[in-house]
Structure 1
Amino acid sequence: MVFSISDNLSNTGENRTVDWLFGTSTTAPTLPLKMALVTAAGNDATAGTEVVGGSYARKNISVAAAVNGAVTNSADLSFTGMPACTVVGWEIWDSAGSPVRWSYGPFDASKNLAAGDEFKVAASGWSFSAS
């Protein structure tokens, strides 16, 4: 799964990235960043419908330094005890008191889950690219 900055940053992410690049602001995400799973996709302006129920919780996502403008998740992301649902995509949020949604995108394929199932994104199974 590869996602491009130009297509997968939220409006807030786009604005803050451009502000940082051109020196008008240095507002960075509050770490750690977290991956959320969604059952209905969002867009630049609107968050998707996040999974609710079971033992689902957003997971901290860590990445190594970018190589050729891309990063990948450096560890498995295991969402255990999921509710019955169909996961269609992901969102990256920060950990601010009022979390900010930075990016979003679809998975290669939707995944139907039964109650109690695990949803796993293997290490290096998710990537984000500036190209």
Structure 2
Amino acid sequence: MSLTNHGEDKLLTLFKNAGPYYLALFTSAPNETGIGTEVSGGSYARQQVTFGNPSAGVMKNSAAIEFPTATATWGTAVAWGLFDASTGGNLVWYGNITTPKELLSGDIYRVNAGNLTLTMD
């Protein structure tokens, strides 16, 4: 069975409206059970994400997402996750970072508008 683009957009809209969601960075990728190693310490904090309206089964962040300046080495960010809370909470969506990035003290990690993409496959 498959969903139409309209059906995919409906589900993404329901997901969007059930937010807010917070972007997390991981140094080891999470999986279906949520196990992974989230960055911690050094002023790290999850950042709230604002999504635009979905189209053809795709939804993207509508505004840039900027993490605070690292005050310690965070490690190499290899994956991302969306949580339903700014701390604790549940991992609801995740993916790999296309180009992993080592984050050192003084670095700022930024996701430009339109670069965080959720797709219905």
- What is the TM-score with the length of structure 1 in the denominator? 0.72
For structure 1, list consecutive stretches of 5 or more residues without a partner in the other structure.
1-20
State the AA in 2 paired with 1:128. Answer: L
- 2:58 match: 70
User: CA–CA distance in 1 between the matches of 2:48 and 2:94?
Assistant: 15
> How big is the shift at 1:48?
1.5
- What is the TM-score with the length of structure 2 in the denominator? 0.78
- 1:126 match: 116
> How big is the shift at 1:99?
1.1
For structure 2, list consecutive stretches of 5 or more residues without a partner in the other structure.
1-10
State the AA in 1 paired with 2:69. Answer: G
Equivalent in 19, 36, 39 of residue 31 of structure 1: 19
State the AA in 1 paired with 2:98. Answer: D
User: CA–CA distance in 1 between the matches of 2:86 and 2:115?
Assistant: 26
- 1:59 match: 47
User: CA–CA distance in 1 between the matches of 2:76 and 2:84?
Assistant: 24
> How big is the shift at 1:30?
5.6
Is contact 2:22–2:86 with CA below 8 Å preserved after alignment?
no
Question: Which structure has more RCO (C-alpha within 8 Å, separation ≥ 6)?
Answer: 1
1:112 matches 2:102? yes
User: CA–CA distance in 2 between the matches of 1:81 and 1:96?
Assistant: 17
User: What's the % identity of the aligned pairs?
Assistant: 32
User: CA–CA distance in 1 between the matches of 2:51 and 2:118?
Assistant: 10
Q: What secondary structure does 2:33 align onto?
A: coil
Runs of 4+ in 1 over 4 A off after TM superposition: none
User: CA–CA distance in 2 between the matches of 1:113 and 1:97?
Assistant: 21
Is contact 1:72–1:127 with CA below 8 Å preserved after alignment?
yes
